[in-house]
């Protein structure tokens, strides 16, 4: 039997009435190390969690090269999108709390890294900057396979596969929750399934599930938080953007435009890399790890 013993310790960070679960890897023992080397705060992608198979080896790779990491679950982890509590904007204070925790643990520098939706969260948090707790230690952002605009990406994909229901049908239904007509009670939040959302069959793997509220904040036309291009220009720390050349969800032009927004806004440290891979970087995690390490070493060694 093939067994993998993963490094790291599962911890819980108290937050409001619940706890943020996280995986802490590569705990350093020297104060000098903690002060000088950044810790990498990793954010999961859509429906992901701290045990995700995608990139789960990255914490070990980072630890082997002297970088600690904390992989956290947000409200959008696991079932958040399906049962109404995974509201995109509500993840920001959670990320702040994790940064605060790392600060209290002694880390002076934090780099936030995310894949897909995780990249959206990282950039949104960095753009909100000083409005949120724990931000002053954030010294860099790594956004992997991150869309230019999550709502546009999802709308385009649903249209491509002739989703049932359509994007506009869901928008009309969600408006009854958020913008009821005069004299009308707001409708209840409820889950819904979109068939043929990212493939041309009715199979579960080609379907998506949200509630009207979670969809509104993540994918609806008025979901400001996930329109990454609107926030990119306000990120003042170094940014690493990585794109998978064979990504069937994101276009290369989105990635290029996102970098341009950052540079046009005056960010002098924007790095962009392509990798010959699909959206999940399957089979190319070593290369992705090396790109990440090089970028970190160039700035923080």
Nearest to 56 by CA among 228, 281, 209: 281
* Interactions with other proteins, residue window 210-249 (CB under 8 A): 211
Minimum gap (Å) between residue 55 Cβ and other proteins: 14
Residue number, 101 or 255, with CB nearest to other proteins = 101
Residue number, 24 or 232, with CB nearest to other proteins = 24
Indicate which single residue of 46, 137, 209, 263 sits in contact with other proteins (rule: CB under 8 A): 209
Minimum gap (Å) between residue 274 Cβ and other proteins: 29
CB atoms within 10 A of CB 32: 8
Check residue 6 for interaction with other proteins (CB under 8 A).
yes
30 backbone φψ class: left, alpha, beta (φ>0; ψ -120 to 50): beta
SS3 211: strand
Interface segment toward other proteins; rule CB under 8 A; list 77-85, 95-103, 216-224, 253-261 = 77-85
Check residue 5 for interaction with other proteins (CB under 8 A).
yes
Minimum gap (Å) between residue 156 Cβ and other proteins: 22
Check residue 51 for interaction with other proteins (CB under 8 A).
yes
Q: Rounded distance, CA 123 to CA 118, Å?
A: 9
125, two tokens: 């948090």
Q: What is the greatest pairwise CA distance in the chain? A: 64
Specify the DSSP element, H or E, that contains 214.
Answer: helix 212-218
Minimum gap (Å) between residue 46 Cβ and other proteins: 11
Question: What number of chain residues touch other proteins (CB under 8 A)?
Answer: 34
Compute the C-alpha angle 110/70/209, nearest 5°.
Answer: 110
Q: Rounded distance, CA 116 to CA 45, Å?
A: 5
Nearest to 102 by CA among 68, 150, 61, 125: 68
* Interactions with other proteins, residue window 149-208 (CB under 8 A): 188-193, 195, 202-205, 207
DSSP states of 145-187 as a string?
S--S-HHHHHHHHHHHTT-BS-HHHHHHHHHHHHSPPTTPPPP
Check residue 29 for interaction with other proteins (CB under 8 A).
no
Minimum gap (Å) between residue 125 Cβ and other proteins: 23
Residue number, 207 or 271, with CB nearest to other proteins = 207
- Provide the Cα torsion 265, 271, 277, 282; round to 10°: -100
Minimum gap (Å) between residue 86 Cβ and other proteins: 10
Minimum gap (Å) between residue 219 Cβ and other proteins: 16
Indicate which single residue of 15, 33, 36, 47 sits in contact with other proteins (rule: CB under 8 A): 47
Check residue 4 for interaction with other proteins (CB under 8 A).
yes
Strand 39-43 to 18-25 pairing: unpaired
* Interactions with other proteins, residue window 240-299 (CB under 8 A): none
SS3 10: strand
Tell the residue number behind the tokens 């509500």, with chain if given: 90
Specify the DSSP element, H or E, that contains 244.
Answer: strand 239-244
Residue number, 143 or 174, with CB nearest to other proteins = 174
The binding site for other proteins (CB under 8 A) comprises: 1-6, 8-10, 21, 23, 47, 49, 51, 53, 78-79, 82-84, 188-193, 195, 202-205, 207, 209, 211
């Amino acid at each position: 039997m093939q067994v993998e013993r993963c490094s790291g310790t599962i911890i819980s960070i108290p937050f409001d009435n619940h706890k943020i679960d996280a995986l802490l890897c590569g705990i350093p023992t020297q104060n000098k190390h903690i002060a000088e080397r950044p810790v990498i705060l990793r954010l999961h992608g859509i429906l992901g969690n701290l045990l995700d198979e995608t990139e789960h080896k990255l914490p070990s790779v980072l630890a082997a090269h002297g970088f600690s990491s904390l992989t956290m679950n947000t409200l959008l982890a696991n079932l958040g999108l399906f049962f109404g509590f995974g509201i995109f904007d509500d993840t920001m204070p959670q990320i702040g709390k994790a940064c605060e925790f790392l600060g209290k643990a002694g880390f002076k520098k934090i780099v936030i890294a995310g894949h897909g939706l995780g990249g959206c969260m990282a950039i949104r948090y960095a753009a909100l900057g000083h409005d949120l707790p724990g931000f002053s230690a954030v010294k860099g952002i790594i956004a992997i396979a991150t869309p230019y605009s999550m709502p546009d990406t999802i709308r385009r994909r649903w249209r491509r596969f002739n989703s049932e229901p359509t994007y506009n049908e869901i928008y009309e239904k969600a408006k009854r929750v958020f913008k009821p007509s005069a004299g009308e009670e707001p409708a209840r939040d409820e889950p819904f399934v979109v068939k043929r959302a990212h493939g041309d069959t009715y199979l579960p793997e080609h379907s998506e599930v949200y509630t009207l509220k979670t969809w509104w904040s993540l994918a609806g036309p008025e979901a400001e938080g996930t329109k990454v291009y609107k926030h990119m220009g306000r990120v003042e720390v170094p940014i690493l953007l990585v794109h998978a050349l064979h990504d069937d969800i994101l276009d290369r032009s989105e990635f290029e435009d996102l970098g341009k927004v950052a540079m046009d806004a005056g960010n002098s440290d924007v790095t962009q890399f392509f990798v010959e891979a699909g959206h999940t970087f399957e089979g190319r995690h070593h290369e992705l790890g090396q790109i990440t390490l090089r970028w970190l070493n160039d700035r923080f060694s």
